[in-house]
Amino acid sequence: RISDRGGVLGAMETMYQRNKIQEESLYYETLKHSGELPIMGVNTFLNPDPPEEDVKMELARSTEEEKTMQIRDLEKFHQFHAEEQDGMMERLSDSALHNSNLFEVLMDAAQVCSLGQITQHLYQLGGRYRRNM
C-alpha cells in the first residue's frame, strides 16, 4: 500500500500512517469499551450479574440554593485570600517559566487560589494544548 502512495515520503505527505494509527486506535478503543477486548482492571472487574441496586443510579442535581451557596463561598474565598493571590501567581509564573518544580507551587497555590484562577493563569502562560490534525 505504501508503494501505491509514492513510497514512504508520499505516504507521509498524505498522512497515511497517521490515519492508519487513528483507525487502529479507534478499533482498539471500541473493542475495549464494548467489552469484546477484556482488559483486567479496565473493563473486566465488573460483576456480570450485579445486584439491581448497583445497576440503577440516581442522577444527583444541585438545587439553585446549593449553586448559589457554592458561588457565594467561592467569592468569599477570593476575597479572603485576595492579598496572597498575586504573589502566588507570580511564584507560579516563575516556576513554570524556569522549569522548576511546578507541583510544589501548585500545592501552595491551591491553598489561596481557586482551580479556575490557577488554570486560567497557566493557560495565559503556556496556552492551551490543541491536537494538530
Mean pLDDT of 83-92: 96
Say yes or no to pLDDT of 133 above 70.
Answer: no
Same domain? 29 vs 71: no
Same domain? 81 vs 114: yes
Residue 12 inside a domain? The answer is: yes
pLDDT band at 119 (very low <50, low <70, confident <90, very high): very high
Amino acid occupying residue 19? N
Residue 53 inside a domain? The answer is: no
Residue 122 inside a domain? The answer is: yes
Same domain? 21 vs 75: no
Same domain? 78 vs 118: yes
Say yes or no to pLDDT of 92 above 70.
Answer: yes
Residue 54 inside a domain? The answer is: no
For the chain, give the DSSP string.
-TGGGTHHHHHHHTTHHHHHHHHHHHHHHHHHHHTSS--TTTTSSS-SS--HHHH--PPP---HHHHHHHHHHHHHHHHHTHHHHHHHHHHHHHHHHTT--HHHHHHHHHHHS-HHHHHHHHHHHH-------
Residue 103 inside a domain? The answer is: yes
Specify the number of domains making up the chain.
2
- Domain, as residue range, for 38: 3-46
The full length of the chain comes to 133
